[in-house]
Structure 1
């Protein structure tokens, strides 16, 4: 009970500290001035006219700014096309660069995402097969603007490589993580998440992940702050919310994409598992796309960004789901329901 009260009170404090829902007007106009000075005149004027309405529901964003020649060739874009160039996350260059091909970037055009198309051999980052022009034109930590030479095509289709069928088991998890030595830093994970738009999940990690975890490590599927605030209910829902986003095994992106469609991953919420499917080469978890693989990883855990909160529905068939309550070495699970 005491732990539950602590979690609730901590979240009250966190909720009110997360009160900023829109980018400051000064930030938008500063970015427009930098775009103008950098030769992106058309996008600078467009940003001043439409940005406040585009960004009023987001506290951070990444903008891909087409060049003046792109505007001249295509003409004035529609509002929907402009929305397709606004991503609702801050993406520093190093983060954008390490996103694997097929990663999805949710845009402000409802139901539409951009797709990372950078291959391991590419020296230049690309999205929807359009190269990103070097470092950000503007970057203040919450708003970033990158230059591109032409408009993104909303009809672009990414076809990822075919994946071999696979399935999950405790033995496969142990094989993947047999070198885990528990020397990683949760403090670094929390810091990284807070600066990447995942402050809510960072707070859960900071409050709940203390002590040692079993040798298999964990995987956290993290929805963005905005999605959590829009979806989460009463304070008593918080422990189950967190548990259903955590898998008792460390799966890097390269591990996840090797699982076949229909594979179910157990979570720390009893009776709740995560079902893997694909759509157009995009990895889908319980109907929710993974759009930011490997946000953070060390030898103890890995965090993947997802576009929404995973549906709180109990799977009908749990016979194939491995019980995560006890690790392969017999240690008690860190997420014992009695701890909340």
Structure 2
């Protein structure tokens, strides 16, 4: 009888031992944002942002949660550090405005900005706000008050992003649109064209 019990228990013990001792399968990574089961450009950009520890900006994009805002658009994000974001005065109501005032409605890598004449005006994604791109010798490139400290973080076809030294401020409440050429008053896409070289 003991032998029969042993013959029953031994395979059961072996099965439980190998099953419990086997490592649990690792969870598969999932893209943050999906569209038609394909990773979007925004999802790819968010992954690049996370790799460089711009987690605060990633959280803002997730809280905004409007994937159509940048769908099929070429944009450049100007991302303050987590520390600078923690000091920024923002509320849920103006989160979209905050993101748009840190966005250029065009795909601009750092080499594009380096080719601009000093003090070039570039539209922001807000209709009445303009960025001033300043080249400051050994200090690098400034967008308004913020220096570009981590250029070319995002490495995909539609979205460029750069880490900046501060939250963007504007010297005026608005830019008089009457003085802007018509091409700068058109919708977000097409306001700036940049060659991809």
Secondary structure, counterpart of 1:187 in structure 2: helix
The 1-side partners of 2:99 and 2:112 are apart by 22
Q: Aligned in 2, Cα 1:186/1:326: closer, same or farther, shift over 3 Å?
A: closer
After TM superposition, give the deviation of residue 277 of structure 1 in Å: 1.1
- Equivalent pair of 2:90/2:98 in contact (CA under 8 Å): no
- Equivalent pair of 2:135/2:141 in contact (CA under 8 Å): yes
After TM superposition, list the pairs within 5 Å mapping 1:154-165 onto structure 2.
none
The 1-side partners of 2:71 and 2:84 are apart by 29
Alignment of 1:294 with 2:156, yes or no, is: no
Partner of 1:268: 125
Partner of 1:236: 93
Aligned length: 145
The 1-side partners of 2:60 and 2:90 are apart by 15
Provide Cα deviations, 1:172-224, integer angstroms capped at 9, x if missing partner: xxxxxxxxxxx86322221221232211222333423347324xx11111111
After TM superposition, give the deviation of residue 297 of structure 1 in Å: 2.6
After TM superposition, give the deviation of residue 232 of structure 1 in Å: 2.7
- Equivalent pair of 2:103/2:124 in contact (CA under 8 Å): yes
Partner of 2:44: 188
- Structure 1 unaligned blocks of 5 or more: 1-182, 329-340
RMSD: 2.4
Partner of 1:202: 58
Out of 146, 167, 171, the residue aligned to residue 309 of structure 1 is 167
Q: Aligned in 2, Cα 1:316/1:269: closer, same or farther, shift over 3 Å?
A: closer
With structure 2 as the length reference, what TM-score do the two structures score?
0.65
Secondary structure, counterpart of 1:222 in structure 2: strand
- Structure 2 unaligned blocks of 5 or more: 1-38, 191-197
Secondary structure, counterpart of 1:251 in structure 2: coil
